[in-house]
Chain A
Amino acid sequence: MSELPGRTQPLLEIENLHVEYRTLDGIVKAVNGLNLRIDEGKALGLVGETGAGKTTTALAVMKLVPTPPGVITAGSVRIAGREILPLGDAEMQHLRGNQVSMIFQNPMASLNPVHDVGSQIAEVIRLHQGVSPREARVRAAGMLRAVGIPENRAGDFPHEFSGGMKQRVMIAIALACRPRLLIADEPTTALDVTIQAQVIDLIKSLKRDYSGAQLLITHDLGLVAEMCDDVAVMYAGRVVEKADIAELFQNPRHPYTLGLFGSLPNLKKSVHRLRSIGGLSPDPKMLPRGCPFHPRCAERMDVCTERTPSESVVGAGHTVCCWKYSESGGTR
């Protein structure tokens, strides 16, 4: 895609990313040639069934895929134009928590039980901003206030907080150094519904003040509609369709996306979850030949069982990986 004048620079660009987990039972191909791009100041929602490889993709961007068993086998990840996969530990440590931050799926276990929350926030500030311990504590207290927790609770320990408050503390840690990219991995699924709404409002309001771009991983289409500019739909380790939200909600193309949205996707309709569609997602240890979705696809063609489709452009900024939309019509 050519750079149009006035179009913002990509902050995150992932190309042809492959990640696998080499386990005793076999090689789990968690991410298989994933392409993704988030522009400066934009929020992208990454949706897909469980096991699609969403968390693995996020960890690859942080270069925190657990190794062993995980290995990034190929691809390119650029943050603000800089290729990060070849970077060494010291350079990655400079990026993490500073330029790129991540909020994890499970807030209950994400804070260290033996340190008070104030020092857990102050730690990241000291590390990247080179301020005195005292100044770091002051700024940490400020971050607590920013996420709606009274400053005088900075000396309390994680077990003295509720799940929603722990997630707020995680958000404070993630945003403390004003990262250019914030990755939020299902930031609300572990929380109950009323708390979910609060945390969403918080992330939305902080987005304006703190974060450049966001990668929001979720199962929740309502959340995507509410918080994101663009959506990418992930299936078996690849992005099968992406577009801005208006386009994707009005005009979904990939049979998998259509299945997820049901017959009449509606942006106005309040929260609706991903529909479950028939069949099981494929075993990442034995991905089917051709398009990985073909065993579940109602519109399967012969070519689908043989070769993997590549990206086709079907609208402005709207791409699909499906033979139905391939210009060569699957005959190439």
Chain B
Amino acid sequence: MKKGLGKYVLIRLVGAVPLLLVVAVIVFVLLQYAPGDPAELMLGMDATPENVAQMRVKMGLDKPLHVQLLRFLAGLLRGDLGTSWQSGRPVAEEIGRTLPVTAYVSFVAIVISSVVGVLVGVLSAVRQYSLVDNIVRVVVLAGVSMPVFWLGLMLIVVFSGFLGVLPSSGWGTPKHLVLPAVTLATYPLAMITRLTRSSMLEVIRQDYVRTARAKGLSMRAVIVHHALQNAFIPVVTVIGIQFGVLLAGAVLTESVFAIPGIGRLTVAAVFARDYPVIRASVVLTAAIFVLINLLVDISYTYLDPRIRYDN
């Protein structure tokens, strides 16, 4: 590990706590403006006012707002996310059930899109304006502009409908992973390819690449040993952001493929005004972005010696 990195990580993590509390306050306040009374929604149309009042007490909604907020924040600090109003189970348990599913698909998707995206981006840059490059650019454009749910549906039509080789929905076997992972990988793949290409084009114009050529290195060796690492530096940021977006829960994709992930959990919670689950998943998303940003910054110290955190 690099010098001073441990201390830096610690400072960043401690510094994230106030940020997450601010996020928690904001989501709490915003939910107050959501239309509909959660207690009424929970009980259905024919609940009596007495039932509703009882329910409000049970949910803690009878307390003044600031008390509710402080309870929520105190719970967060203790690591207690509360109880889902809808299922009656601890929120932590709900998240523990759904997050691994989302994390698994997202991880597979980001690995596919990073590996393929960097390879294709480099190839496209090295052969700028060739047939390969032109095809790549068209496909990338399609990839960034295609609606994800539509792509998911098309994949289902082709691979489950016509070919019948892959299941159209559900979760459990490796086969269930393929279509959702491909669907989720498409947008990040297009972004990573595009950025790698432009970053590589920029790097191969640099003087140090000419120096490397003047040493007698082949173009391939120059790309691998000199250009790649430099070109990769901006790409890491985008990989991080895209991974964060995937982890936050791909609502549409999870719905199309009926995957029990955190995206679906959150959407169901929104419809049911299940505030504890909504709040927890928003704060969790913020925490995920904080962590990913930190990982990106740490990886910079390995990619770019000009960046150091030991002072």
Q: Chain B binding site: helix, strand, loop or mixed by DSSP?
A: helix
Report the Cα distance A111→B230, complex, angstroms: 12
Report the Cα distance A109→B208, complex, angstroms: 6
With A64-B210, A109-B207 as given contacts, are A114 and B216 in contact (CB-CB < 8 Å)?
A: no
How far, in Å, is B304 (CB) from chain A's closest CB?
A: 6
Report the Cα distance A222→B230, complex, angstroms: 39
B binding-site residues for A, Cβ under 8 Å: 206-208, 210-219, 225-226, 229-230, 303-306
Residues of B within 8 A of A112 (CB): 208, 211-212, 226, 230
How far, in Å, is A181 (CB) from chain B's closest CB?
A: 12
Residues of B within 8 A of A97 (CB): 214-216
How far, in Å, is B205 (CB) from chain A's closest CB?
A: 8
Report the Cα distance A112→B208, complex, angstroms: 5
Residues of B within 8 A of A123 (CB): 215, 217, 225
Are the CB atoms of B215 and A127 closer together than 8 Å?
A: yes
Report the Cα distance A128→B215, complex, angstroms: 9
Partner of A104, one of B211, B225, B229, B305: B211
Interface size class for chain A?
20 to 34
Are the CB atoms of A93 and B230 closer together than 8 Å?
A: no
Residue ID in chain B nearest A127 by CB atoms: B216
Partner of B207, one of A98, A110, A114, A159: A110
Residues of B within 8 A of A170 (CB): 211
Extra inter-chain contacts (15) besides given A112-B212, A112-B226, A127-B217, CB under 8 Å: A90-B218, A93-B218, A95-B216, A96-B214, A96-B216, A97-B215, A109-B206, A113-B208, A113-B306, A114-B303, A123-B215, A127-B216, A128-B216, A157-B305, A159-B306
Q: Residue A326 at the B interface, CB < 8 A?
A: no
Residues of A within 8 A of B215 (CB): 96-97, 123-124, 127, 173
Q: Mark A90-106, 1 if CB is under 8 A from B, else 0.
A: 10111111100110101
How far, in Å, is A58 (CB) from chain B's closest CB?
A: 10
Partner of B216, one of A104, A109, A124, A157: A124
Q: Residue A221 at the B interface, CB < 8 A?
A: no
In the complex, which of the residues B210, B219, B230 has the most CB atoms of chain A within 10 Å of its own CB atom?
Answer: B210
Report the Cα distance A102→B304, complex, angstroms: 26
Are the CB atoms of A101 and B217 closer together than 8 Å?
A: no
The 4 closest A-B pairs by CB, nearest first: A97-B216, A97-B215, A96-B216, A109-B207
5 A-B contacts, Cβ less than 8 Å apart?
A97-B215, A101-B214, A111-B211, A159-B305, A159-B306
